[in-house]
Amino acid sequence: MTTAIAITDSHCHLDFSDFDGERDALIARARAAGVTRMVTICTKLDNLRQVQEIAETYPEVFFAAGTHPMSAAEVPLVSVAELVALAEHPKFVGIGETGLDYHYTAESADIQKQSLRIHIEAAQITGLPLIIHARSADDDMARILREAYEAAPYSCVMHCFSSSPELAKAALDLGFYLSMSGIATFPKSQEVRDIFASAPIDRILVETDAPYLAPPPHRGRRNEPSYVALTAQKGAEVFGMDYADFAAATQANFDRLFAKAAAYEGRD
């Protein structure tokens, strides 16, 4: 039997009800597809316990937590201290997702920016990577990320990147990473593929954002971590690389950015 090439799903939502009753089978399919690690993201701290329990149940699952920008006006603001305290957990590896979304929730822009700055400060204190959601807010996003970085450096991934070339450049200039999702596999996403193709290979991650954005041939249906290999195959095409080499590069990138997860994996 051929061993699947190792790949990491750097962003998924395993606590969502879409996966209720079949998480064991889901994780088994991911393992069979070569997915060695998954980072499951808590988007509201009210859901933290379930997300944490999933990470504690499955050896290859890690977790991150924050307040999604679309929820920033609906829940109490998380504090820097709360986020910093979460970093004590050995499998807590990132801050967020946080960010700005003016596509659906432009009316809450002010509270989104306040929440974003809180998460940035937690990333600066803990040294854990910031996980950013950005939609229709490129100018504010670039400005806030840059101003904060100039005050105190931090690491960051632009999750599910599908924004402008200008925001990509702003992020890359700060040493940040771009994460490729199923969007990059869609036929009409050539502009997104061009942005990735112009980025350094050592700044690229891959993700599913499951249960959303399934790549072909599953588009329009529920996404799951095993499908990250399909996105990575498209990524290899975009960079003109063999799949094994592209997968290895993204593994090394994940290890560098999510160093806490990489260190945990090496424990006895």
Q: Where are the alpha helices (DSSP H) in 127-242?
A: 138-151, 165-173, 190-197, 228-239
Tell me the C-alpha distance between 163 and 9, whole Å. 20
Reading the block at residue 33, the tokens are: 């597809």
244: left (phi over 0), alpha (psi -120 to 50) or beta: alpha
Strands of 92-137, DSSP E: 92-101, 130-135
With beta carbons less than 8 A apart as the criterion, state whether 224 and 30 touch.
yes
Task: Measure the CA dihedral 105/224/197/205, to 10°.
Answer: 90
133 in a labelled binding site: yes
Reading the block at residue 144, the tokens are: 């806030």
103 in a labelled binding site: no
209 in a labelled binding site: yes
159 in a labelled binding site: yes
Binding residues: 11, 13, 97, 133, 159, 209
Binding residues for a divalent metal cation: 11, 13, 97, 133, 159, 209
